Structure 1
Amino acid sequence: MENRRKKLIAKIKIAQQQLGLDDDTYRDMLEGTVGKRSAAQMTDKELTVVIEVMKSKGFQDRASDHEADKPDVTEAKKALVGKIEALLADGNKPWRYAEAMAERMFNRKRIQWLSTDQLHRLVAALQINANRAKEKS
């Protein structure tokens, strides 16, 4: 159940970025919709309501496409792939962006072919990219 909750919150964050909502506008929208200013404080049902409201405002849910691209990795690598997924979502980037980085960095076309050390290095590179993007805005 916790995994479903994380996916709902991630989807809301993607919607926030897709709709171009700054933090105050986003929190006002949450409060106006379910009476809470943080997605972390919401129930699964409230999260679903917020997603539906965001869809009515123009959010286009591409989760099915996104999930299809997510690499299938061993249990030991799932946490790192989760970090990659979160960084991609924050930057509104597709999985093929991370795959292109993996190919440039390690000459590997698929993320699931990376070693744990290489995954750590890919996470670090994505984080550096995210930090640079934040500095520019």
Structure 2
Amino acid sequence: MSRRNLDLSKIHIAKKDLGLDDETYRALLVRVAGVRSAKDLSPRQAGKVLAEFERLGWKPSPVKTGRKAPVAAAGRAKLIGKIEAFLSEANRSWAYADGMAQRMFKVERVEWLDPEQLRKMVAALAYDAKRHGRAAQ
């Protein structure tokens, strides 16, 4: 989703959460950004409108951080643990690891990898850590 669409979605969610009728909402847009429709907002204007909604008491919902670590069979649990450690050290999510699995092996999720594929992923993450100056366990 593009940044523009994300901002427009947030604006419309805030409008609904604050219980603004259409007339009040459009008056706010005119007062804050000088436009009558959210589709006419520039990125900077959208930020100002969102800041105004927050000033009026709207609290954006927290961003979902991803998913829990995959559950693996005993033989693969150590490798999953190593992958989790590398991700944590690099401040990356499991979605990143799933993306690696997709690119490297054409498998959607890490927990579906076989032990050999998991070893290759650990090696790739170790190489990445070394390249970025992090401890490669």
- Name the TM-score, length of structure 2 as normaliser: 0.49
Give 1 or 2: higher helix fraction. 1
Name which structure has the greater RCO, CA cutoff 8 Å, separation 6+. 1
- Name the TM-score, length of structure 1 as normaliser: 0.49
